[in-house]
Amino acid sequence: MLKELAVERLRFSCGRCRRSWQADYDVQHLEDAEGEVFEYYSLNGVPVEVPTAPGSVTCPQCGRWTRVELLARRPVPVLSEQSNAPRRRRAPNHGARARNVPLLSGSDDESTAAITEAGSVNTPSASH
């Protein structure tokens, strides 16, 4: 049973080469029949190992394990049939439109570049 959906922004820092970067992960918390809760992470729609586990993410520059820090978290509402949350039926052509757009990147560098190119808000990029 689905217990929670969230988006978590994590910062990774390498102690050797001092590289630092951020990524947004989709997180699902699921409860099994015995009541135990498991978490599943994905990055850009691809399932990945739990990035907060020690040694699970290595620096792309030097290969050393990185330090991980949770910067922000945004829960995504899980609606039930009894929910009073406002909602509406999905437009008939929404599925086709959604399949034809690129996935949002989990890389802060790429996200910032896309936002800047679109002429919207300019946010500072991660330091390297």
Tell whether the model's pLDDT for residue 99 goes beyond 70.
no
- 92 occurs within a structural domain: no
Mean pLDDT of the chain: 77
Boundaries of domain holding 66: 2-77+104-118
pLDDT given at position 126:
41
Q: Is residue 123 in a domain?
A: no
What CA–CA distance (Å, rounded) separates 51 from 25? 9
Of residues 106 and 86, the one with the higher pLDDT is 106
pLDDT tens digits along 16-69: 999 999 999 999 999 899 989 999 999 998 999 999 888 889 999 999 999 999
Q: Report yes or no on 59 lying in a domain.
A: yes
Query: Does residue 86 fall inside a structural domain?
Result: no
Indicate the number of domains in the chain.
1
Residue 68, domain member (yes or no): yes
Helix, strand counts (H, E) of the chain? 2, 5
